[in-house]
Amino acid sequence: MSEPTSAPNARPDAGDAGDVEDGEAGGIAAGDATTRERSVAGVRRKPEQDPLFEYLLRLGDDRLVLGHRLSEWCGHGPILEEDIATANVALDLVGQAAQLLKLAGVVEGKDRDEDALAYFREGVEYRNCLMVEQPNGDFGYTMLRQFLFDAHSLLLWEVLATGQHPALAAIAAKAIKETRYHVRHSSEWVIRLGDGTGESHARVARSLLELWRFTDELFERDAVDDAVAKLGVVVDTAGLRSRWDTMVEDVLTRATLAVPTGIAMQSGGRRGRHTEHLGHLLATMQIVARSHPGARW
Amino acid sequence: MAAGPLTRERAMAVLDTVPDPEVPAISVVELGIVRDVEVAADATTTVTITPTYSGCPAMFEIEKDVRTALEAAGASRVVVRTVLSPAWTTDWIQPEAREKLRAYGIAPPGPAESGGLVTLTRARSPVACPFCGSSDTRLQSEFGSTACKAIHVCHSCRQPFDEFKAH
């Protein structure tokens, strides 16, 4: 995330502005512990009460949690280039998350900046999908998960970049460029491992069966999606699914892998019902910020 | 820096001496991340910058360097604004700056990919080696030492080299 002390600089019009703006002093305010303490208490409310905030949390949390997962490969990659690549992709995702959560904080208007939202929310307040919080497994599992996510991400950014919410469209237009590199990287690995040795094929085929149960959640639609559509964030979920199916089937076919059928689907992340893995991830991610509230470097 | 009141032109010239922290061969102006500069009557200077990548960790460093340089040149107060739109593209890097990158050992970016279909498997034409000029090179990884660089290897002079990724 950004420097841990950047204070929110909420302007009434910022949610509609074409850019996300830093405070004029670089967004730095010393000893901002009160914001942190307020944030720790958390805010419980129905998602429909502030659908755009909720929607931005979903987008931001997906990328924050997956970015954190990828960062766990740093120093453990199978080869140096992949160690660097996963760290690069993690950095892009955490950067996108920072922009999204910053905007979410402005939209919410309760003095929470991206760091307050990242470090001082409990697991039940996280809105990421279940796929991204799963432990990394082997490198093939990580790359396959990345491909399934990247394909969805790229197609979604393309829709959001042309949307009627300027600040979100600006984040999307920037993220498209990064996500193009991500999906190329992850799809190449899925093909290489699927159409590789007997061992690599067996492993990635097993990972596909394990991961497939989390794919429907990417395309779930609820009252939040309908409410943000009225605010100009219109996503044709069925159309997105159909384009995703085409892209995924193309890559899986080239990887000599079959699209799984008859898998019982899992979901709940968008409403804060997570697998046990998220709590462990958050404990690691949040410990420094929570042990030293308001600390700066 | 020459003395005298700070003007927009002079502020821009000052910024053109601020190197990018990760690619110090070119300035933040040449890199195309300085989008606008305004100098108010009281010498308050507002600089609008845009990040190269969403998570570019150099942005804080760049902001600090910009502030320091402008204050030394007479700005009474420096306001740094960050905008995301329009999104930065390597097409904004000027021809002279591309030559500086090459001389520094970084292959300059090709034209940025515009929208449209994602080519998942594409045959990229080889990137010329910045050291020996050979086109007998191979892409090692699209992710390099910083978010904005890819790694290539030259078969001719056997040097690994960075490429500024088209973005």
Domain assignment present for A201: yes
Chain A residue numbers touching B119 (CB-CB < 8 A): 184
Q: What is the ipTM of this complex?
A: 0.90
Average pLDDT over residues A224-228: 96
pLDDT for residue B114: 63
pLDDT for residue A27: 35
pLDDT for residue B56: 86
pTM exceeds cut of 0.80: yes
Number of domains in chain A: 1
- And the tokens for B51? 């990040």
| Residue range of the domain that includes A104 | 47-291
Least confident interval from A191-200, B27-36, B115-124:
B115-124
For residues B16 and B74, membership in a common domain is answered with: yes
**Angstrom distances, CA of residue B140 to CA of A26, A235, B119, B154, B161:** 37, 37, 18, 10, 10
Chain A residue numbers touching B53 (CB-CB < 8 A): 91-92, 95, 178
Cβ–Cβ pairs < 8 A, chains A and B: 116
Cβ–Cβ contacts within 10 Å for residue A145, how many? Answer: 24
Number of domains in chain B: 2
| Cross-chain Cβ contact B85/A173 below 8 Å | yes
| Cross-chain Cβ contact A21/B81 below 8 Å | yes
For residues B76 and B31, membership in a common domain is answered with: yes
Q: How confident is the model at residue A45 (pLDDT cuts 50, 70, 90)?
A: low
Beta-bridge partners for B79 = B46
Q: Can you tell me the distance from the alpha carbon of A112 to that of A135, in angstroms, rounded to the nearest whole number?
A: 29
| Residue range of the domain that includes B66 | 8-82
Q: What is the CATH number of the domain that holds B26?
A: 3.30.300.130
Listed by number, the residues of chain A in 205-264 with a beta carbon closer than 8 Å to a beta carbon of chain B are 247, 250-251, 254
Least confident interval from A12-16, A67-71, A114-118, A288-292:
A12-16
> Is residue B65 within 8 Å of residue B100, measured between CB atoms?
no
Residue B125 has pLDDT above 90, yes or no: no
Average pLDDT over residues B23-47: 95
Least confident interval from A173-177, B97-101, B147-151:
B147-151
pLDDT for residue A22: 39
Domain assignment present for A23: no
Which candidate, A221, A223, A224, A212, places its Cα nearest to that of A264? A212
For residues B62 and B128, membership in a common domain is answered with: no
Q: Can you tell me the distance from the alpha carbon of A253 to that of A271, in angstroms, rounded to the nearest whole number?
A: 34
Domain assignment present for B2: no
Full DSSP string of A167-221: HHHHHHHHHHHHHHHHHHHHHHHHHHHHTS-HHHHHHHHHHHHHHHTTSGGGG--
A111: left (phi over 0), alpha (psi -120 to 50) or beta: left
Name the strand (E) or helix (H) holding B139. strand B137-141
| Cross-chain Cβ contact A18/B83 below 8 Å | yes
Domain assignment present for B87: no
Judge residue B119's burial from the number of C-beta atoms within 10 Å of its C-beta, 0-12 exposed, 13-18 middle, 19 or more buried. exposed
Cβ–Cβ contacts within 10 Å for residue A290, how many? Answer: 14
For residues B12 and B77, membership in a common domain is answered with: yes
For residues B110 and B152, membership in a common domain is answered with: yes
Average pLDDT over residues B132-161: 94
Nearest to B82 among A22, A175, A250 (CB): A22
For residues B74 and B123, membership in a common domain is answered with: no
Domain assignment present for B1: no
Domain assignment present for A36: no
Which among B81, B120, B142, B145 is the top mutation candidate for probing chain A, defined by the most A β-carbons within 10 Å of its own β-carbon? B120
Domain assignment present for B97: no
Q: Can you tell me the distance from the alpha carbon of A253 to that of B120, in angstroms, rounded to the nearest whole number?
A: 13
Helices (H), A72-197: 80-108, 114-119, 130-133, 139-160, 166-194
Domain assignment present for B51: yes
| Cross-chain Cβ contact A92/B140 below 8 Å | no
For residues B78 and B114, membership in a common domain is answered with: no
Domain assignment present for A10: no
Domain assignment present for A22: no
* Length of chain B, in residues: 167
Domain assignment present for A30: no
Q: What is the CATH number of the domain that holds A173?
A: 1.20.1260.10
Domain assignment present for B89: no
Q: Can you tell me the distance from the alpha carbon of B31 to that of B29, in angstroms, rounded to the nearest whole number?
A: 5
Do β-strands B137-141 and B106-107 pair in parallel, antiparallel, or remain unpaired? unpaired
Least confident interval from A226-230, B104-108, B138-142:
B138-142
